[in-house]
Structure 1
């Protein structure tokens, strides 16, 4: 009798898993199914081959790299290719995303132009990605040039966000959400491809007064919350590590398909990948981990799902925006959230 109960319990668990997989596949085309099959085979082959070459990337190896200095009212902590800044009761992390474009490029170079530095990534198809940064490494503009035509993807020149290095918050109230919560914050682990696609293509949930810089979007929660998010709570990392493990990549299937198709329809689409942690651990560790994990997810989406690197931007928030208010360990707080922020962004300083 006991064995019968265990068999029934195992069968019920298998049925629930199959039902969940069926829901996730809803809305996929036959071509997308074939792409997923090829992807899964590729992951098995490539990740097995390069396993021996992977670096042991963990946060405790970075702590000794941190250097702290004061600049007026700001505390600046450098950590490898990242900078943690504390000012006015706020803490945020910044990194140079242009370096992420080296992967898969046939050529990469850096030039100094006046007061700006431009990093140029040349893709196998001949297109060129231009990333302009200031002396602090902060993104100013990002564009794509192909066959003589230039498309501006991001214009982050200051317009009320950063002024002289100081962050100025926007006076925006939280949006009023009049749609079902499961459509506003989509659970990627349960959602179908169709549900994720709709979240990425839906208009903002409120009327916007103007277009905004990327920094304004990054550092003003009510502005980011004007567009829907797709939350991935189940992707897990080893403790203190930011590498996306082999068994986690397939959890990005529907997200990757939907993002790839969105960019094909509108090459100017920009997705923000947010990294979040729970409240366990130090603030600096959590901020760095969340930022590096968001970047790792972006790299996986580019490598395995053909989402162009220039159509992605990443930002770590550490424990600042807990989904579940608790100081203890909580899996739902250790998440990645993805938003299509294109409707929010200015593409010129005159927008």
Structure 2
């Protein structure tokens, strides 16, 4: 991507533009990547319509069954709303990102203390290659580890680690990315079947459910490269879940974190750190309201 990357300075920030995402480095040294989920929605679409009104861009993806996915983006490229509209015109708001806490730093960073976790570590961070299907299924529908006092915007969840950490997660360490690559080898794609089953069951139980796919890298290469690479890894996993396992694209969102959150504390190549993570962020978006009914004890999604 180096040949397609453009670097500019805007308002004291360094901004790196790539064809399908933007990487921003603040004067404080903090940096993050912002991608575009719309690329994933084009798969299987019958038609795509885009209209800009009053600084907001509304993109409507029309599917063969007549249903529509409406995505509203602000003038800064930030996702504002995502709506599913069925063939009869009935709407479900999946994501409302227009809410912002006035005390949040920069409009999206929330300074919370780390959550208090009173559960076994292997149930808080589940290793996909070791956990039985019923544990993966339960984790995708698990409640927060502590009480949620308010609802958070998608940006607050994406860019505030201690907000995200209030939800258990699944490390998809059954997929091994090669150094510098975001491609999922075909022989490893089948390893997502159990996770896809759990996601589809959870979304069937609650059509408003939202799952965050997180991408990570090891500490090889530059910070900017790794942010871009990790975001592409997250997008690759989300794309595969939709195209191969029919997980609705609109119920998934992806975000890359580069080398910021290593699982193995090592400077250099690490297959463990080149990974994706999945967590249910529905309770964070809706303020802790009950969203996914618990599965029957000891059950796993049908195969």
Q: TM-score higher than 0.5 here? A: yes
* Contact persistence 1:108–1:121 (CA under 8 A): yes
Superposed CA RMSD: 1.7
Give 1:97 deviation, angstroms: 1.1
Aligned residues: 285
Change (3 A) 1:73 1:167: farther
Give 1:169 deviation, angstroms: 2.3
* Contact persistence 2:108–2:159 (CA under 8 A): no
1:252 correspondence with 2:192: yes
CA distance in 1, matches of 2:90, 2:251: 17
In structure 2, what is the equivalent of residue 157 of structure 1? 98
CA distance in 1, matches of 2:261, 2:107: 18
* Contact persistence 2:214–2:276 (CA under 8 A): yes
1:227 correspondence with 2:167: yes
Change (3 A) 1:63 1:143: same
State the secondary structure of the residue aligned to 2:45: coil
Normalised by the length of structure 2, the TM-score is 0.90
* Contact persistence 2:137–2:198 (CA under 8 A): yes
Give 1:328 deviation, angstroms: 2.1
Alignment of 1:1-351 (within 5 A): 62-87=1-26, 88-146=28-86, 147-160=88-101, 166-346=106-286
* Contact persistence 1:186–1:196 (CA under 8 A): yes
CA distance in 2, matches of 1:218, 1:162: 17
State the secondary structure of the residue aligned to 2:179: coil
Give 1:167 deviation, angstroms: 4.8
Question: Per-residue CA shift, 1:224-283, capped at 9, x if unaligned?
Answer: 000000101231233322121111101111111100111111111100000001111111
State the secondary structure of the residue aligned to 2:158: helix
Give 1:107 deviation, angstroms: 1.0
List alignment gaps of at least 5 residues for structure 2: 288-303
**Rg larger in 1 or in 2?**
1
Q: Which moved more, 1:264-273 or 1:88-97?
A: 88-97
CA distance in 1, matches of 2:89, 2:190: 37
* Contact persistence 1:162–1:168 (CA under 8 A): no
Higher helix residue share: 1
